[in-house]
Structure 1
Amino acid sequence: MLKQYLKKTTALVLFGMVGFMAVAQSNSTTKEKPKPRILVSSDIGGTDPDDFQSMIHLMMYSDLFQIEGLVSSPFGDGRKKHFLDMIDLYEKDFPKLTTHNKNLTNPNDLRKVCKQGTIPSAPFKGYSTATEGSEWIIKCAKQKNNQPLWVLVWGGLEDLAQALHDSPEIEKKIKVYWIGGPNKKWSINAYSYIAKNHPNLWMIEANATYRGWIIDSESPKEISSEAYYGNYIQGRGAMGKAFKNYYNGNVKMGDTPSLAYLMNGDPNNPLTDSWGGSFTPINRSSRNVFERNTTIKDTVAAYAVLEWRFKGPKMNVPKDSACFIFEAGGQKWPGYCLGEGVYAVRYSSKKQETCTYVTTSSIPELNEQKGQFVSTIPWPGKQTPDDYKLGKHWYGDRQEPELFLEQQQGAKTISKFRSEFLLDWAKRWEWLN
């Protein structure tokens, strides 16, 4: 009788323990945060080598993300091949890396999601024709998933604008962190299309905050841009060897804050601290439309959309045909025919400056149009009737004077985490020692 009682008691205890462990395991699984779904749109291989550095960083932290797309959206000579070249380097280091972290993404899985996006910049209307990259954005965004797709834009907005034009409903399924600034200048028409037609997009527009990675005046010397390579990267694997090819190994990685934003902090609340900065809601995007040549008396906000419209002959050419060149700061942009004898060009200044411009064209009325303007900070600047009105989920650089780093608005919201971030990365470089 006693034996039977003990057997029953033991069985009940064991059953209870198994049940408790199952519940505990279930609760643990429930509480575990899912990995963010990300798609990177990059101008890797284009005009700025820092995307190569950011790609190395992404692959070394690939265990933290569901990487659903790597879209080549270049300005310049960048192509999908440049993604694939970096993955080849990662593959060489992969066996050693996975002895320390078995959850890193397999190189072949990364190759499968590499897509070629648009090569030319968007015309005045802001979109053109679908690309492999824009269609992939749509496909990923439409997947049935409780999580949003984070679109991290390291260059131009062309493929994102095309995707939103072709499938407007994805606006509600994505969240965007865009490294603007100079990229806004090159991608001004695509930006204008999105701001005008998709103001309710969930968007972080980082025009200056990201420079908290680049400006290292407040960092310890051992992790300065020049010293970090020698102290933590040199001699470590194929990726470490290749890192020297970009800015001579000086750490720039101006696009990495978009990724770091998802690594540390609450990404659903841009107002709070994170490795990728903190931001403020903005309900408008500065825009100025001029139907005349501007002068030094004209003051605009840095990062504003500037649009000049000129009168010319009524020509039998398709709308959005490039008919003149606008040159400012030694760089050139196409100007377009809008029809009915109206021609226009857009530009955005990436800093506070006094800028001089001139046009060239075979059309006499559009040739040698000259002018100046002065751009100032912070952004958005003084309100104008031309501003794009934005929804409640568009965020920009913080404007408090104490958060400026040099002339860069909001940059201190990132620079204060620079040491923490880079020393964390140094631990992963040690895996390749």
Structure 2
Amino acid sequence: SNQIDVKGLIAVTSTHLKNNIYPESINRVIEAYKKVRPNLLKHESNYPSSDYLYSCVKKGVPVYGMQGVGDDFTSEGSEWIIKELQVNDDRPLWISVWGGANVLAQALYDIQKRFSEAQANELICKLRVYSISDQDDAGIWIRNKFPSLFYIVSPGGRYGSATWPGINDVVKGLDNSCVSNKWILDNIQQGHGPLGAAYPDVAWGMEGDTPAFLSLIPNGLSVPEKPNWGGWGGRYELYTPVYCPGGENIGNVPDEPETRPIWTNASDTFFRYVYNPYGRSIRKDSLCFSGNRASLYRWREDFQNDFAARMDWCVKDYAAANHPPVVKLSHSSKIDVVSGEYCVLNAAKSYDPDGDHLSFLWFSYKEAGTCKSAVKLFEPENVYKVAFIAPEVDQDETIHIILRVTDHGYPALSRYQRVIICVHPRK
């Protein structure tokens, strides 16, 4: 919350809780946060006051889905969304939907009623929605009714095909310890103050809703306005998904075809780099991971370590805790080159605020760019600079090179720099 500007915390219903809302559950978490905030401020600034966060807690209607949208269902939650949209602020307003979407639907319903078409469009253009699947029938209504609205979702209630469960999948070949109940107990719940003690045992899936805001954390990797570039919240592409009826539908939410392009599931393929006990300190693993959830698997250990470090900040002094490295390039993060040109990328100015040793890893994120030619980075790819030869192209193409810098404190923390290479054909 010190890096994301929280504007509202709205209690809503969903297919899993159709007739009740519990803002008091939000307030309990804020009460625990209030007790650790003084210690958090020893580590980073801008953590909001508990009084401010209490003022952000708003109620939706205790009614399920579209049954709670219409002339008689305006709530303090839907009014708060409209109020924030009217603030003179050029930034987009992100709505992270962790349950049902009917409060957002009501806000949009009221905007259409109260404002001129031009004014309504101006407000709606400021909205960005990331929904954890559909947990009522309001999501599909919104997407059909407001075709220009920026909307990220694995549509429907078929969680099995969604991207976001990649945050807690147990996958052969991955380090699954970071999503285990023991990891949660050791790193979050026990010995981390009142906020950690308030963290419940897993009942369904650990942190299932968290991808809806992970890409908003400024880590040098994520560009929230570009879901197709990938980041801690996963990677999504803009298209109209093919309608595939049938299959598991958790909670019996509407199973309807999409009528327009949405930001939705995109496939990634990657190989892990693993520790090498001799010689070069890392090696490329032989196991390949692919599919839409792989766009979360890429970063899972990193963002779980970030979570653990922040929980340490709740109870430890600055010198006893770890803090993320600072990644600095010696050149622009956008570079123009010509096919066949020799290119060098350099991050020698990177440093760690705690004085920890830093490890580097450069890799090509093929799916994020437009260039389909393979980009081979010259070895070694685990030092502060790397080189490659721009591939042959027939038209302007982009290549995304990611630098991951990891410190050796505990827990080890990673930050990134994305370098976009614009490759032009030879003249």
Give the TM interval when normalised to the shorter protein: 0.5 to 0.7
Larger Rg: 1
What is the aligned-residue identity percentage?
26
Partner of 1:365: none
Partner of 2:183: 228
Alignment of 1:102-117 (within 5 A): 102-117=45-60
Question: Could you tell me how far apart the structure 1 residues matched to 2:270 and 2:67 are?
Answer: 38
Alignment of 1:130-209 (within 5 A): 130-168=74-112, 169=120, 170-180=123-133, 184=134, 186-188=135-137, 190-207=138-155, 208-209=162-163
Partner of 1:98: 41
Question: Could you tell me how far apart the structure 2 residues matched to 1:125 and 1:112 are?
Answer: 24
In the TM superposition, residue 187 of structure 1 has moved relative to its aligned partner by 0.7
Q: 1:88 aligns with which of 31, 53, 67?
A: 31
Letter matched to residue 187 of structure 1: D
Deviates more, 1:198-207 or 1:225-234: 225-234
Question: Could you tell me how far apart the structure 1 residues matched to 2:68 and 2:60 are?
Answer: 18
Question: Could you tell me how far apart the structure 1 residues matched to 2:139 and 2:312 are?
Answer: 40
- SS of match in other structure, 2:36: helix
Q: How many residues align?
A: 275
Q: Deviation digits for residues 3-51 of structure 1, max 9, x if unmatched? A: xxxxxxxxxxxxxxxxxxxxxxxxxxxxxxxxxxxxxxxxxxxxxxxxx
Question: Could you tell me how far apart the structure 2 residues matched to 1:269 and 1:401 are?
Answer: 19
In the TM superposition, residue 148 of structure 1 has moved relative to its aligned partner by 0.9
Classify 1:224/1:195 alpha carbon distance in 2 versus 1 (closer, same or farther; 3 Å): closer
CA RMSD, 1 decimal: 3.1
Classify 1:283/1:78 alpha carbon distance in 2 versus 1 (closer, same or farther; 3 Å): same
In the TM superposition, residue 277 of structure 1 has moved relative to its aligned partner by 0.5
Partner of 1:320: none
Relative contact order higher in (CA < 8 Å, ≥ 6 apart)? 1
Letter matched to residue 254 of structure 2: Y
Q: Deviation digits for residues 131-168 of structure 1, max 9, x if unmatched? A: 11011111111211111111111111100111111104
Q: 1:241 aligns with which of 175, 186, 197?
A: 197
Contact 1:125–1:193 under 8 Å retained in 2? no
Question: Could you tell me how far apart the structure 1 residues matched to 2:180 and 2:265 are?
Answer: 23
In the TM superposition, residue 409 of structure 1 has moved relative to its aligned partner by 5.7
Contact 1:117–1:133 under 8 Å retained in 2? yes
Question: Could you tell me how far apart the structure 2 residues matched to 1:111 and 1:211 are?
Answer: 30
Partner of 1:313: none
- SS of match in other structure, 1:63: coil
Q: Deviation digits for residues 83-140 of structure 1, max 9, x if unmatched? A: 1111001111112222222321111110111100121113469656211101111111
Partner of 1:427: 309
Contact 1:281–1:396 under 8 Å retained in 2? yes
Question: Could you tell me how far apart the structure 1 residues matched to 2:41 and 2:270 are?
Answer: 42
Letter matched to residue 138 of structure 1: I
Question: Could you tell me how far apart the structure 1 residues matched to 2:247 and 2:143 are?
Answer: 17
Q: Give unmatched runs, 5+ long, in structure 1.
A: 1-61, 287-298, 304-327, 334-345, 349-385
- SS of match in other structure, 2:74: coil
The TM-score, its normalising length taken from structure 2, stands at 0.58
Find out whether 1:347 has 2:254 as its counterpart: yes
Contact 1:126–1:191 under 8 Å retained in 2? no
Find out whether 1:67 has 2:36 as its counterpart: no
The TM-score, its normalising length taken from structure 1, stands at 0.58
Contact 1:72–1:80 under 8 Å retained in 2? yes
Larger fraction in helix: 1
Partner of 2:340: none
In the TM superposition, residue 402 of structure 1 has moved relative to its aligned partner by 8.1
In the TM superposition, residue 266 of structure 1 has moved relative to its aligned partner by 0.8
Partner of 2:299: 417
